Amino acid sequence: MRHRKVVASHAEALDGVASGATVAIGGFGRTGVPTALIAELCRRDLRDLHVVANNVGLSDDPTVGAGRLLLEGRARKYTCSFPSSPAFNEIFHRGEVELELVPQGTLAERLRAGGAGIGAFYTPSGAGTDLATGRFVARHDADGIATAYLEAKEHRDIGGVEHVLEYPIRPDVALVKGSVGDTYGNLHFRLGSRNFNPLVGMAARLTIAEVRTIAGAAIDPDHVHLSGIFVDRMTLSEPAMEGSPT
């Protein structure tokens, strides 16, 4: 009998996800990106999304991962570490999207904190920089004039080192890509595809996974990278959607 976490299609997996949601996307560059779920999200014509991802497209291919949502005008805001494609810079400076730039380690820890139930934490990353002092531009108007800035963060000296206070990220939805899943929702990620996938999967209220293989038996506990307790729905990736061996 099919376990209730395994669904038959990407459309069923994304049932109930609506425009305006905060959607966290796993992956790093081309590795571990839930391409099939992103494609289904676009097919459903969802818009006004707040997207949380490590990077937004790539300099040589702006359509990769969360970059596709940008190019199709589906995102109103990005929380990310690497908005590195020229396409993002153009769209950002035209005032069509908002940016919350976050140091990569801080982004990872904010997601981990969201999954662990941590209320806030201090980190030296970004202390005293424009990202923490209220001088970093978060949005432009259509003429490229700054209209909004990141909020200034609380600073505190801890052991003689300046730190800033950061808050967890708790997305409405996470899209992740695993190598192997079992019918209990446990996931294994191959090599580098482990990257941000377990973190976004733990942090979200609803976690949806696409996997290359569904195991006939439970995954060995030593090989589980994201426990099924965090995974709500799982579906197979379509071979045509595979953009990476990981």
**Weakest mean pLDDT among 21-25, 33-37, 60-64:** 60-64
Query: With bands split at pLDDT 50, 70 and 90, how would you rate the model's confidence at 3?
Result: low
Does the pLDDT at position 240 exceed 70?
no
User: Residue 154 in contact with residue 3, Cβ under 8 Å?
Assistant: no
Token digits for 197? 């996938």
What's the rounded Cα separation, in Å, for the pair 227 and 201? 9
203-209 mean pLDDT: 98
Contact 179, 26 (CB under 8 A): no
pLDDT one-digit tens code per residue, 143-184: 999 999 999 999 999 999 999 999 999 999 999 999 999 999
Work out the mean pLDDT of the chain and round it to a whole number.
Answer: 93
Between 239 and 44, the higher pLDDT residue: 44
CA distance 132 to 202: 26
The per-residue pLDDT for 4 is: 75
Average pLDDT of the residues in 60-73: 90
Average the pLDDT over 93-100 and give the result: 97
Mean pLDDT of 96-104: 97
| pLDDT above 50: residue 242 | no
**What mean pLDDT comes out for the span 197-204?**
98
Q: Are the CB atoms for 119 and 95 separated by under 8 Å?
A: no
Residue 73 clears pLDDT 90, i.e. is over it: yes
7 pLDDT exceeds 50? yes
pLDDT at 244 over 50: no
Residue 84: the pLDDT is: 80
Domains and CATH numbers, the chain: 10-120+167-237 (3.40.1080.10), 121-166 (no CATH)
Checking if the pLDDT of 245 tops 80, the result is: no
**pLDDT tens column, 215-226:** 988 999 999 999
